[in-house]
């Protein structure tokens, strides 16, 4: 991983150099998309085209998988706006190094992509706008949240406990945002309306019935390595299997729902919780104190388990937002990933996501009064020198969803002051901070629509 991060830092320096030399948009996007230089062996950018290769060996041999000529960019971009996943894949596979046929160009140009056209009713300024909101994660209970690894359990010095889980916050934020947008006339789609997974087969049933076959299928289609497959089949526990399920089934299913809706803008709603080394030492001190107390051993072990499963407290609050980028080795091995990579190089989706995310981070700061992150994230590239808190990060959902998107993490849930505010969600009360986050997204969408989609 350290070697990957060094490549990422190098890519950041290259990005600055490219900006200074006025290189074209395709190369600027590429610098945010490549998290390791080995991935450059899958693509070549020429003055009049962009070419993808299935493997580095194919590139060396000149075997083209898909080439998009400069005068075809608009057609290729529109393909993602008007065709389904299977048709997109067929288009990509049949393209090779040839040009689109006249009939294909005619059919794509005649298709209605249903662009946003602002209405004249001042009471409904967003009428006609399609917004997708994905409330991240899916736990419906603390037990499920612990298994998912997306929960907060903090201990105060007096031993009292704050506990809640992120899926609740994400859904509450999404519902508040949906209500605000619909009052302005927007059409809003939530990937989930309740605290439960979206994929139609429950994880518990899937892991009993489908898990071994699913692992072998993903290995066969190059979504996972042989080493990863062997580990999953032989040594993985429930949490690792859930992580695999979420990555390979739940998230792609959500992305498919979003892309079918063809949104003009998408909000991927999350909250953050970064670890602190100091807090790990505090865990040790707390466990030691428990073990020194007199009492039944079973009670002591239950208390110890609670501390072990508690989340470490952080001493600084901050916000950050993420856009697609920072692909790492192995992540262009599937044809689907290469299709999305080419889309992100050729289309304005990455540029639009950065522009939209700029409004989101600005409004996070405005409504929440928290600074932007000043720490690097694993598998990420900072977007420019003047856009604080915005990162092109290796997050799969951002690569699967098409169009302008922002994955926001507005607060640190394990910052004690925030935790004390957010914990009200466990009592069925929507915290004011959640409402403020929704307001920040709402204003950001309004500003993005005003400045980008109506001009």
Q: CB 86: neighbour CB atoms within 10 A?
A: 8
Distance CA 384, CA 223 (A): 31
Distance CA 91, CA 88 (A): 5
Q: If we measure between CA atoms, which residue out of 170, 171, 181 comes closest to residue 413?
A: 170
The pLDDT assigned to 387 comes to: 81
Residue 299 reports pLDDT greater than 50: no
Buried b (16+ CB within 10 A) or exposed e, 278-287: ebeebbeebb
- The average pLDDT across 152-170 equals 88
The pLDDT assigned to 20 comes to: 38
Least confident of 24-38, 264-278, 405-419: 264-278
Helix (H/G/I), strand (E/B), else coil: 273: coil
The pLDDT assigned to 455 comes to: 62
Residue 406 reports pLDDT greater than 70: yes
Q: What is the pLDDT of residues 183-226, one digit of tens each?
A: 999 999 999 999 999 999 999 999 999 999 999 999 999 999 99
- The average pLDDT across 287-301 equals 50
φ/ψ of residue 17, rounded to 5: -65, -40
The percent of residues above 70 in pLDDT, for the chain, comes to: 87
The pLDDT assigned to 386 comes to: 73
Q: What is the mean pLDDT of the chain?
A: 90
The pLDDT assigned to 120 comes to: 86
Sign (positive or negative) of CA dihedral 270, 223, 74, 261: negative
**Contact status, residue 87 vs residue 363, Cβ threshold 8 Å:** no
- The average pLDDT across 346-354 equals 98
The pLDDT assigned to 161 comes to: 87
φ/ψ of residue 309, rounded to 5: -85, -5
**Quick one: pLDDT band at residue 308, thresholds 50, 70, 90?**
low
Q: What is the pLDDT of residues 84-122, one digit of tens each?
A: 999 999 999 999 999 999 999 999 999 999 999 988 899
Comparison of pLDDT for 304 and 450, the residue scoring more: 450
**Quick one: pLDDT band at residue 376, thresholds 50, 70, 90?**
confident
Q: Write the CB contacts of 15 (distance below 8 Å, at least 6 apart in sequence).
A: 28, 31, 32, 381, 384
The pLDDT assigned to 158 comes to: 72
- The average pLDDT across 293-321 equals 66
**Contact status, residue 390 vs residue 382, Cβ threshold 8 Å:** yes
Counting every residue written for the chain, the total comes to 455
**Contact status, residue 78 vs residue 47, Cβ threshold 8 Å:** no
**Quick one: pLDDT band at residue 345, thresholds 50, 70, 90?**
very high
Least confident of 3-17, 178-192, 322-336: 3-17
The pLDDT assigned to 16 comes to: 44
Q: What is the pLDDT of residues 117-149, one digit of tens each?
A: 988 899 999 999 999 999 999 999 999 999 999
């Amino acid at each position: 991983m350290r070697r990957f991060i060094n490549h990422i830092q190098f890519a950041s320096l290259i990005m600055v150099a490219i900006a200074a030399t006025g290189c074209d948009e395709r190369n600027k996007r590429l610098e945010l998309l490549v998290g390791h230089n080995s991935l450059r062996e899958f693509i070549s950018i020429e003055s009049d085209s962009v070419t993808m290769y299935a493997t580095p060996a194919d590139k060396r041999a000149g075997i083209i998988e898909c080439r998009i000529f400069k005068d075809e960019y608009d057609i290729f971009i529109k393909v993602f706006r008007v065709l389904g996943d299977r048709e997109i894949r067929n288009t990509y596979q049949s393209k090779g190094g040839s040009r689109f046929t006249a009939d294909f160009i005619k059919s794509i140009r005649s298709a209605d992509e249903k662009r946003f056209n602002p209405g004249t009713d001042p009471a409904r300024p967003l009428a006609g706008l399609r917004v997708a909101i994905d409330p991240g994660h899916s736990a419906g209970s603390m037990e499920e949240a612990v298994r998912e690894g997306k929960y907060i359990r903090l201990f105060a010095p007096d031993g009292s406990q704050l506990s809640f889980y992120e899926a609740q916050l994400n859904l509450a934020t999404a519902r508040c945002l949906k209500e605000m947008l619909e009052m302005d006339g927007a059409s809003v789609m939530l990937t989930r309306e309740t605290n439960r997974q979206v994929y139609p087969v429950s994880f518990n049933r899937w892991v009993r019935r489908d898990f071994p076959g699913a692992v072998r299928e993903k290995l066969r289609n190059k979504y996972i390595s042989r080493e990863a497959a062997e580990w999953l089949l032989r040594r993985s526990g429930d949490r690792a299997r859930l992580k695999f399920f979420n990555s390979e089934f739940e998230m792609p299913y959500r992305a498919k729902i979003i892309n079918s809706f063809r949104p003009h803008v998408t909000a991927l709603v999350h909250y953050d919780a970064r670890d602190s080394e100091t807090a790990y030492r505090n865990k040790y001190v707390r466990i030691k104190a428990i073990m020194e107390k007199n009492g039944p051993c079973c009670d002591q072990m239950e208390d110890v388990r609670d501390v072990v499963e508690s989340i470490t407290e952080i001493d600084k609050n901050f916000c950050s937002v993420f856009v697609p980028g920072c692909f790492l080795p192995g992540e262009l091995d599937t044809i689907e990933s290469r299709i999305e990579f080419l889309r992100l190089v050729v289309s304005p989706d990455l540029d639009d996501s950065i522009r939209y995310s700029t409004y989101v981070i600005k409004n996070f700061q405005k409504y929440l009064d928290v600074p932007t992150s000043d720490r690097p994230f694993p598998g990420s590239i900072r977007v420019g020198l003047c856009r604080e808190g915005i990162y092109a990060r290796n997050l799969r959902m951002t690569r699967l969803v098409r169009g302008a998107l922002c994955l926001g993490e507005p607060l640190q849930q394990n910052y004690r002051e925030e935790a004390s505010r957010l914990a009200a969600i466990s009592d069925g009360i929507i915290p004011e901070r959640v409402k403020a986050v929704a307001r920040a997204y709402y204003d950001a969408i309004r500003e993005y629509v005003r400045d980008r989609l109506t001009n």
